[in-house]
């Protein structure tokens, strides 16, 4: 009996220790270095630094000026979890080049604990919202005009959360967002943890807030889209996304189908729609921004 209890105790301690370690690693991923530059795409650019709106984390990025004639409109890119401003699944610089050629200014930057930015915690949208709002503040000070945001995965949710707080974000493209972080992680955490669902998912969820301060239930895009409305959102998602179900985008779109748009692609993995359909993706995004920001197309 004592031996059996000892084994159970050791197993519980081991599972808890693994959960603490993995939970810490998931919220403190190693930064990915930048291995491309706008110069590789024949793009003019300026290195920029600014601060997160609420807690003043220093953030780094690029400003890519529109090729003449400028539309006096800036599109801010919002990258995904464990990535950086390059959003390598696209790659983002390729899309940025098309947008600058169409007359848009572009801001690409690294969220906290990513790329060349400061900070050491990744909160999967919670504090990254402050970072995106810091980018909005920089644009308003340096290049006033209309502002749109395009986000990918975590960055798509962050774009929605930021637009809910910032009325000067006039339109959002959300590529492959989840709808609510808490329920999403409870159902899909093994995708990211690479651990069996039981017992590790409930253990990691239980220890995440105490060890990181992140309340995952505050990252709620469903509540946020109701604050964004009637401003427009274009949702893009692959029916074959193996990381975030396309039903999350359907749920968000369904809140206000009179102002929100939805494009479901096929055959693409998570955030791979642009790579598979670059011309259609670019056309849809530019048509959306042109129509919603009152820009001649």
What is the pLDDT averaged over residues 189-197? 90
* Packing angle of the helix pair 246-254, 221-228 (nearest 10 deg): 40
φ/ψ (deg, to 5) at 292: -85, -20
- Using the 8-state DSSP alphabet, how is residue 216 labeled? G
Say if CB 179 and CB 154 are below 8 A apart. no
What is the pLDDT averaged over residues 78-87? 98
* 62: helix, strand or coil: strand
pLDDT at 191: 87
Domain ranges of the chain: 1-30+183-214, 34-180+219-292
What is the pLDDT averaged over residues 187-199? 89
pLDDT at 1: 64
- Using the 8-state DSSP alphabet, how is residue 294 labeled? T
Cα 216 to Cα 105, 168, 175, 254, distances in angstroms: 33, 26, 20, 23
On whether the pTM is more than 0.85, the answer is yes
**DSSP strands (E only) in the chain:** 46-51, 58-64, 73-78, 105-109, 146-152, 169-175, 233-238, 260-265
What's the CATH number for 34-180+219-292?
3.40.50.1820
């Amino acid at each position: 009996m004592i031996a059996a209890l000892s084994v159970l105790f050791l197993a519980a301690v081991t599972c808890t220790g693994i959960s603490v370690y993995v939970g810490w690693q998931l919220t403190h991923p190693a930064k990915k270095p930048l291995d491309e530059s706008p110069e590789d795409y024949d793009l003019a650019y300026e290195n920029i630094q600014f601060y997160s709106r609420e807690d003043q984390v220093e953030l780094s990025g690029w400003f890519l000026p529109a090729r003449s004639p400028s539309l006096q409109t800036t599109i801010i890119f919002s990258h995904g979890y464990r990535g950086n401003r390059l959003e390598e699944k696209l790659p983002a610089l390729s899309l940025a080049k098309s947008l600058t050629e169409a007359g848009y200014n572009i801001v690409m930057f690294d969220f906290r604990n990513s790329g060349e930015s400061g900070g050491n915690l990744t909160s999967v949208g919670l504090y990254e919202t402050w970072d995106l709002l810091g980018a909005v503040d920089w644009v308003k000070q340096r290049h006033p005009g209309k502002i749109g945001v395009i986000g990918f995965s975590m960055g798509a949710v962050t774009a929605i959360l930021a637009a809910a707080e910032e009325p000067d974000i006039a339109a959002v493209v959300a590529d492959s967002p989840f709808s609510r972080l808490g329920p999403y992680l409870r159902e899909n955490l093994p995708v990211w943890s690479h651990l069996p669902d039981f017992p590790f998912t409930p253990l990691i969820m239980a220890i995440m807030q105490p060890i990181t301060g992140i309340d995952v239930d505050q990252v709620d895009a469903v509540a946020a889209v109701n604050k964004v409305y009637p401003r427009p959102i274009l949702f893009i998602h692959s029916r074959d996304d193996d990381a975030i179900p396309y039903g999350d985008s359907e749920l968000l779109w369904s809140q206000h189908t009179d102002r929100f748009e939805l494009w479901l692609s096929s055959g693409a993995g998570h955030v791979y729609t642009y790579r598979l359909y670059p011309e259609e993706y670019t056309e849809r995004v530019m048509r959306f921004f042109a129509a919603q920001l009152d820009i001649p197309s």
